[in-house]
A = this chain, B = another copy of it.
C-alpha cells in the first residue's frame, strides 16, 4: 500500500511535512510526495501519483488565498480533484485551508496543521479500515475546528 502526498509552494505552512509526520504515527505505508506551485496544479499531480507512481490514495494539500480570485482557483482545483478520482477510482482526500478561515498567522498555522493531521487519519482509515468510518457516520465530524456533533441528542 502506498500513499501519495501532493502539496504546494504557495501554501504558507508545510502541510506536506505535517502529513508525512502524521502518516508515520499511524501506519508504515510507502509514501510518494509531489510538490507543485499552486492548488490548480494539484489535480494532475495526484493523477501522476496514482498512475505513474502507483499510489493507492492521495492526500491533496493546499492553502488558497482569501480573495475572490483565490476562491475560484480553489473551486477549479476541487472540481479537478473530483474528476481525477472518477478517472482513477482512487480516493483523494482534499485538505484545503482558506487563508481567511483564520484570524492571524498563528491561527492559520495551527489550523493547517490540525486539519491536515485529522484528514490524514481519515485517509488511513479509508485505505486500511474503510468500515471504521461507518461507525462515525452522521456524527458531525469536522477537521480542524471543533466537531459539530449529531443533530439529534
A interface residues with partner B (beta carbon < 8 Å): 7-17, 33-37, 40-41, 43-45, 47-48, 51-52, 63, 65, 69, 71-73, 75-87, 89-94, 98, 105-106, 108-109, 112, 119, 122, 126, 130-131, 133-134, 136-143, 148-153
Contacts and interface: CB of A to CB of B under 8 A. Distances in A.
Interface centre among A17, A41, A63, A93 (most CB of B within 10 A): A41
11 contacts: A12-B139, A12-B140, A13-B138, A14-B138, A33-B134, A37-B122, A44-B89, A72-B75, A72-B78, A80-B82, A105-B151
Nearest to A111: B151
A74 to B, nearest CB: 8
B76 A78 contact: yes
Query: What is the copy number of this chain in the assembly?
Result: 5
A151 B109 contact: yes
A130 B9 CA distance: 12
B98 A136 contact: no
A53 B87 CA distance: 17
Contacts of A40: 78, 81-82, 94
